[in-house]
Chains A and B, each alone.
Chain A
Amino acid sequence: DAKTTQPTSMDCAEGRAANLPCNHSTISGNEYVYWYRQIHSQGPQYIIHGLKNNETNEMASLIITEDRKSSTLILPHATLRDTAVYYCIVTNFGNEKLTFGTGTRLTIIP
């Protein structure tokens, strides 16, 4: 699986869009980008995934650059409940396993 690089921590004001970057410059053509988050004292929670097209669901949007070497997870209107560690994972579809890195600790500021 391709290695990912994320900032260690970020702050975002409540009500603003939170943009979380992820660098995956060694991604291969059949690898997907997955995003999970872990709120304190809870299990990780799946957010969204994509291959090359931008994706949106009820939780977030995923923007993948055309060269696929980086992506951004967007939480459009951050709330205090979005404070969590966010993990960007790159893996082959069908690989079955996920390898979690250290993620980005996002703090939403009131």
Chain B
Amino acid sequence: DAGVIQSPRHEVTEMGQEVTLRCKPISGHDYLFWYRQTMMRGLELLIYFNNNVPIDDSGMPEDRFSAKMPNASFSTLKIQPSEPRDSAVYFCASGRTGASETQYFGPGTRLLVL
């Protein structure tokens, strides 16, 4: 298996622009997690899905952030409008039912908002 795939790997954008991050989980995994990592706040869980349904979005910082999972093999995290404080590395991870704490992380998307 190719593992969790994220795109793009790097994104540079200007404040106010819309940013869309993409994730393909490992086939057969029914949990999908979005995390954000910054130097100041460390690794934070933003939202996670089970069987394509959002279960907990309490970590989403504000309404500018939204996430969707239209099918079992694809998820997006959108920021609109983006702000410089959104600059971070965004990780997607997936896991199986019964072992969702054993998570497999993607390589991350490094976002810089100017």
Contact = CB atoms under 8 A, between A and B. Distances in A.
B45 A97 contact: yes
Interface residues of A, number: 21
Interface in A36-70: 38, 42-46, 49
A100 B43 CA distance: 6
A91 B105 contact: no
Interface in B55-114: 55-56, 91, 93, 100-108
A43 B48 contact: no
Contacts of B48: 96-97
A44 B45 contact: no
Q: Is the interface of B mostly helix, strand, loop or mixed?
A: strand
B101 A34 contact: yes
B33 to A, nearest CB: 8
B31 A43 contact: no
A98 interface: yes
B42 A101 contact: yes
User: What 10 A-B pairs come out closest when comparing CB atoms?
Assistant: A43-B105, A100-B43, A96-B100, A44-B105, A43-B91, A46-B102, A43-B108, A43-B106, A43-B107, A97-B45
A38 B107 CA distance: 11
A42 B107 contact: yes
Contacts of A34: 101-102
A98 B42 contact: no
B106 A49 contact: no
Nearest to A43: B105
A60 to B, nearest CB: 14
A64 B111 CA distance: 39
Interface in A15-31: none
Given A43-B93, A44-B91, A96-B31, A91 B101 contact: yes
A42 B108 CA distance: 7
Contact of B42 (A42, A49, A100): A100
B43 A44 contact: yes
Contacts of B44: 100
11 contacts: A32-B101, A43-B4, A44-B93, A44-B105, A45-B105, A94-B100, A95-B101, A96-B48, A96-B100, A100-B42, A101-B42
